[in-house]
Structure 1
Amino acid sequence: MATKGNLTKERLTESMLQLIQTSGYSGTGLNAVIEHAGAPKGSVYFHFPDGKEGLGVAAVELAAKRFETLIVEAALSADGAAEAARAAIEALTTIVSESNFRLGCPVSVVTLEMGAESERLREACATAFESWITPTAALLEADGLDAKEARALATVVVSTIEGAVIVSRAMHDTQPLISAADVVSELIKQRCLKIEGTR
């Protein structure tokens, strides 16, 4: 059973994550996080002694876990890597659209804003992207690609999705994500068919 302190820490992390998506990392102050979370004053430094940076790392880690879960769930309900990629992108499209394009990927937001300013945040973002590339590569290997090619293609897939989210939010249009789903799934099918044809 979660303690009161753990619940407060979780609320602070969730609030930080939501505010990063709507206001950016630089635009999110600790007072706003405390107010959004309905947490006691002083709770941030109690749970995150290193302040905003530590809270930012926790928010990035939470975002990483959620998208990794989305990938895993897509894989369980799909027949192969191409369908899994499409399902994951379609789920993201729904999130972006239903938020009126206010929500996207907080990891990319933090990377763009703080990647050159905070090594700790950059490393957290790199770890987050890795946590998405690795299971995607595993799906591709299961479809017949060797480890090196699977890793390369998984990196392209994740990078494409990240870019499509940003462009969709900028345009207030889901078409970039829809196009990404089509292109990524077709690319995976072609690569896997090529491997099968050489056997």
Structure 2
Amino acid sequence: MTEQTKGGRTSARLVESMLELIQARGYSGTGLATVTEHARAPKGSLYFHFPEGKEALGEKAIELAAERFRALLADAPDGPPGEVVAQVVEVLAGMLADSDFQLGCPVSVVALEMGGQSERLREACARAFDSWIEPVAAHLAAHGRSPAEARTLATAVVSTVEGAMIVSRAQRSVEPMRCAAHALAVLLAA
């Protein structure tokens, strides 16, 4: 193993740990000492890999979350938009229930906590949401919607799913997510 590979692995562990801790504790509730402990990384490695500190690490965690959700969208089978949305929502509902409603969307958590305090993190969240809206819009356009209408509907889909995750987490029930999926299926079929 080369030092570069070892360093890359340490950096990846730090980002993964930050992501997991943001999901469980929020951005503000996640301290850097906790991240290094969770990642089983030397304390000095955090500032070696992320010399700009917690915001830089948070930005990378948001990018990782965005990448994972894009992969979930890419893996969804092709079909009518309402059915695809329902399948994706069901996967997300399962993830939420499997975590006993402890793990929410890290992007929405950071946007809510830090969007007014950190331009860097707000922009990272905006990029993440856009990276989810774009493939949904492309799917809608491929199923006959104009580009403008597809973008509008895709924004509504992502916004609705995000809100439903928050309500589901608060109520400790996946029912709000299933209600959102049903409402979106009706909207997308119109």
Normalised to the residue count of structure 1, the TM-score between the two structures is: 0.92
The residue that corresponds to 1:144 in the other structure is: 144
Q: Aligned equivalents of 2:43 and 2:154: distance in 1?
A: 43
What is the CA–CA distance in structure 1 between the aligned matches of 2:189 and 2:49, rounded to whole Å? 46
In the aligned structure 2, how far is the partner of 1:179 from the partner of 1:82? 13
Aligned to 1:3, the other structure's residue is in SS state: helix
Tell me whether 1:113 sits opposite 2:113 in the alignment.
yes
Q: Which runs of 5+ in 2 are unaligned?
A: none
Q: What do residues 25-51 of structure 1 show as CA deviations (whole Å, max 9, x unaligned)?
A: 001000000000000111110000101
2:126 counterpart of 1:126? yes
2:46 is matched with which residue: 39, 44, 47?
44
Cα distance in 1 for residues equivalent to 2:155 and 2:174: 22
Which amino acid counterpart does residue 185 of structure 1 have in structure 2?
A: A
Distance 2:13 2:117 in 1: 26
Distance 1:43 1:141 in 2: 45
Cα distance in 2, alignment partners of residues 55 and 106 from structure 1: 13
Q: Quick one: which amino acid aligns to residue 24 of structure 2?
A: T
Counterpart of 2:12 in structure 1 is: 10
Q: Is 2:63 the partner of 1:53?
A: no
**Is the contact between residue 24 and residue 109 of structure 1 (CA under 8 Å) also seen in structure 2?**
yes
Decide whether the 8 Å contact of 1:64 with 1:129 is kept in 2. yes
1:28 aligns with 2:30: yes
Question: How far off is 1:104 after superposition?
Answer: 1.3
Code of the aligned partner of 1:140: L
What secondary structure does 2:117 align onto?
Answer: coil
What's the TM-score, normalizing by structure 2? 0.97
> What is the SS of the residue equivalent to 2:43?
coil
Cα distance, 1:78 vs structure 2? 3.3
What is the percentage of aligned positions where both structures have the same residue? 57
- Structure 1, unmatched stretches of 5+, are 191-199
Letter in 1 for 2:42: P
Residue 169 of structure 2 aligns to which amino acid in structure 1?
R
**What are the residue-to-residue correspondences of 1:97-108 with 2, within 5 Å?**
97-108=97-108
Match of 1:177 in 2: 177
Distance in 2, Cα, partners of 1:92 & 1:133: 16
